[in-house]
Every structure is written in C-alpha cells, then in structure tokens.
Amino acid sequence: MEVAGKVIVVTGGAVGIGRALVERFAKAGAKHLVVVDLDAANANAVATSVGGTGRRVDVASASAIAALVEEIETTIGPIDLFCSNAGILPVDSDPNNAASTPEAEWTRTWQVNVMAHVHAAAALLPRMIARKSGYFLQTVSAAGLLSQIGSAAYSTTKHAAIGFAESLAITHRDHGIKVSCLCPQAVQTPMIAGVSKMNGADIDGVLTPEAVAEATIEGLAKESFLILPHPKVATYIVKKAENYDRWLGGMAKLRRSLL
Ligand SMILES: NC(=O)c1ccc[n+]([C@@H]2O[C@H](COP(=O)([O-])OP(=O)(O)OC[C@H]3O[C@@H](n4cnc5c(N)ncnc54)[C@H](O)[C@@H]3O)[C@@H](O)[C@H]2O)c1
C-alpha cells in the first residue's frame, strides 16, 4: 500500500512511534490523519501539525472504537488504513516470578495490547469486506515473536496480538484486506524512558521512532506481514523455530547475565 491519498487512523499517536508514523504518513501525502490517544492535548497538537483530527479515545473500549469509526467514516471518509499502535508495557512485579503481575494489570494489558486490535477489526471488517479493501497495521513488538525478559504480561499479550493478526490475514485475504505487524525491538520513546531496566531489549540497538516509521512505510509498500525494523529479529525467529529448547536456554542465559 502506498499511503498517499489515504485516510489513516493511528492510535497512541500522541507521542513515540505513533507520532512518528503520523508525521511520516503526512509527509508521504496521506489524505487525512486521525490521531487517537488518551492524551488529548498531545493528540490534538500532533493532529494540528499535520492538518488532521485529534480524538481522545480509550482503545480498550469497544463502544468508543465503534463510535470513532462511525464518526470518521461519516464525516471524513472510508478508513483505508487503521494503525492499532497504542500499547502498554507492565513489568513483572517480582523479576523472579513470571506470574507476579497483579491480575488487574494483566487484564488492562490484555485489553490494550490485544482487545483494542479486535475492537478496531470488529468495527471495520463489515465496511472493508463490503469495499473489498482495507489495511490493518498492528504495532506489536519483537516480544510477540520472541519474548521480553522481565515482562510476562507484555510478552504474552504481544504473542496474542500476532495470533489475532494471523487470523485476520488468513480469514480476510480473499476479501482484499491486508495486515502488517510492526515488530521492533527497543525504540527511544516515553515507553522505554519509563522502565528502569531494558532487560536485553536494546541488545541490537535502540532505534529512533523516525527510523521505525521509515521501515513501516517500506513494509507497507511491500505489504509484508512482518515489518522488522531491527533486521536481526528475522534470524532470531529462525533460530527459535529450528531448536526451541536451545533458544529457551539461550534466553535464560541472557536473563542470568542481566541479573
Ligand atoms: N518503545 C519501544 O521500545 C517499543 C518496542 C516494540 C514495540 N513497541 C510498541 O509500540 C507501540 C507504541 O509504543 P511507544 O514506545 O511509542 O509507546 P509510548 O508509551 O511512548 O506511547 C504510547 C501512546 O499510547 C497511548 N495509549 C496507551 N494506552 C492507550 C489507550 N488505552 N487508549 C489510547 N491511547 C493509549 C499513550 O497515551 C501514549 O501516548 C506499543 O504498542 C508498544 O508496545 C514499543
């Protein structure tokens, strides 16, 4: 997909990777950008900077996402590309216990990192199927393909997000609907500024959000399911598939070295 001339929604667009996507899509000639975030002030500021529309929406709410889609399609036009980018990164409450995150935090992480993608698809699929076109970009993470040491809830929900994206891509390929998963390792955003330990996420370097947005434009142009701004992630996936037990041993060794 070329983004020029397209109506695009970016969730979590107020800062970080989402903001960089909005700015890159604007530069590439997008027709209209809708910037969605819990942070209304920054969402509106980013939207204004690209002549778009800002909206304060909690992506975890199915009814709020449905209302947003209805509003955009009625007042702006059909959504060509919906980017479910908002995400949260909880860290294990006890780094020596993978089940230590409180249940409420697991639930919230599940809602934002997984169900938000489902809510967007539920609101858009009937419209996209009728139009025989549409594109979902899911910002996931390399943690959804590999793992994130020290955050079981993040790793688990990001794996689930990949699972849902695969179902979308398989079920709706013949409806003309495309899906990509953006899976970076560490990116310099407020998200990682808020964690005290990188726990190996920065092993191949920390990218700028702008570099991730550039990789995304290229991945969308190729309509690749996986967009990997850190190319080494592709080799790690192969190693994991080749010998899962050896890969788990290597990850445990890496964890030990980080203690
Ligand atoms: N930064 C990284 O190293 C990194 C690496 C891999 C993947 N990711 C993923 O990229 C995406 C963006 O990450 P980022 O680093 O830019 O994050 P960030 O925390 O810097 O920004 C996320 C934005 O999403 C918004 N948001 C959070 N919950 C929301 C909700 N329920 N409804 C609406 N908006 C909400 C926040 O207000 C914030 O503006 C996330 O899905 C994250 O998991 C980030």
Q: What is the pLDDT of residue 74?
A: 98
Q: Whose CA is nearest to atom 7 of ligand 1?
A: 141
The structure tokens listed for 110 are 């599940």
Q: What average pLDDT score do residues 75-79 get?
A: 98
pTM of the full structure: 0.98
Asked whether the beta carbons of 180 and 225 are under 8 A apart, the reply is yes
| Residue 211 in contact with ligand 1 by CB distance below 6 A | no
| Residue 200 in contact with ligand 1 by CB distance below 6 A | no
Residue 209 CA: nearest ligand 1 atom is 16
Q: Residue 27 belongs to what H/E stretch?
A: helix 16-27
- Cα separation of 150 and 165, whole Å? 24
Q: What is the pLDDT of residue 207?
A: 97
Catalytic residue among 135, 154, 236, 244: 154
Q: How far is CA 151 from CA 89, 109, 143, in A?
A: 8, 11, 9
CATH number for the domain whose boundaries are 7-258: 3.40.50.720
| pLDDT tens column, 169-181 | 999 999 999 999 9
- CA dihedral defined by 181, 186, 191, 194, rounded to 10 degrees? 160
Q: How far is CA 15 from CA 37, 88, 124, 228, in A?
A: 9, 13, 25, 20
Q: What is the pLDDT of residue 196?
A: 80
- Active site (annotated) includes residue 154: yes
Compute the distance from residue 65 Cα to the ligand 1 centre, in Å: 17
Average pLDDT, the chain: 97
Phi, psi of 92 (to 5 degrees): -55, 130
- Cα separation of 89 and 204, whole Å? 19
Q: What average pLDDT score do residues 100-113 get?
A: 98
Q: Whose CA is nearest to atom 36 of ligand 1?
A: 12
Residue 58 CA: nearest ligand 1 atom is 32
| pLDDT interval class at 195 (50, 70, 90) | confident
| Residue 150 in contact with ligand 1 by CB distance below 6 A | no
Question: In a mutational test of the pocket of ligand 1, which residue from 82, 187, 227 has the highest number of ligand atoms less than 8 Å from its CB?
Answer: 187
Q: What is the pLDDT of residue 198?
A: 86
| Residue 87 in contact with ligand 1 by CB distance below 6 A | yes
| pLDDT tens column, 220-254 | 999 999 999 999 999 999 999 999 999 999 999 99
Residue 158 CA: nearest ligand 1 atom is 43
| pLDDT interval class at 259 (50, 70, 90) | confident
Reply yes or no on whether the pLDDT at 79 is more than 90.
yes
Reply yes or no on whether the pLDDT at 107 is more than 90.
yes
Phi, psi of 246 (to 5 degrees): -65, -40
Q: How far is CA 30 from CA 25, 51, 80, 147, in A?
A: 6, 10, 10, 34
Reply yes or no on whether the pLDDT at 200 is more than 90.
no
Give percent above pLDDT 70 in the chain.
100
Q: What is the pLDDT of residue 209?
A: 98
> Bridge-partner residues for 37, per DSSP?
56
For tokens 């697991």, what's the residue?
106
Phi, psi of 126 (to 5 degrees): -60, -35
Compute the distance from residue 123 Cα to the ligand 1 centre, in Å: 21
DSSP notation for 101-141: S-HHHHHHHHIIIIIHHHHHHHHHHHHHHHHT-EEEEEE--
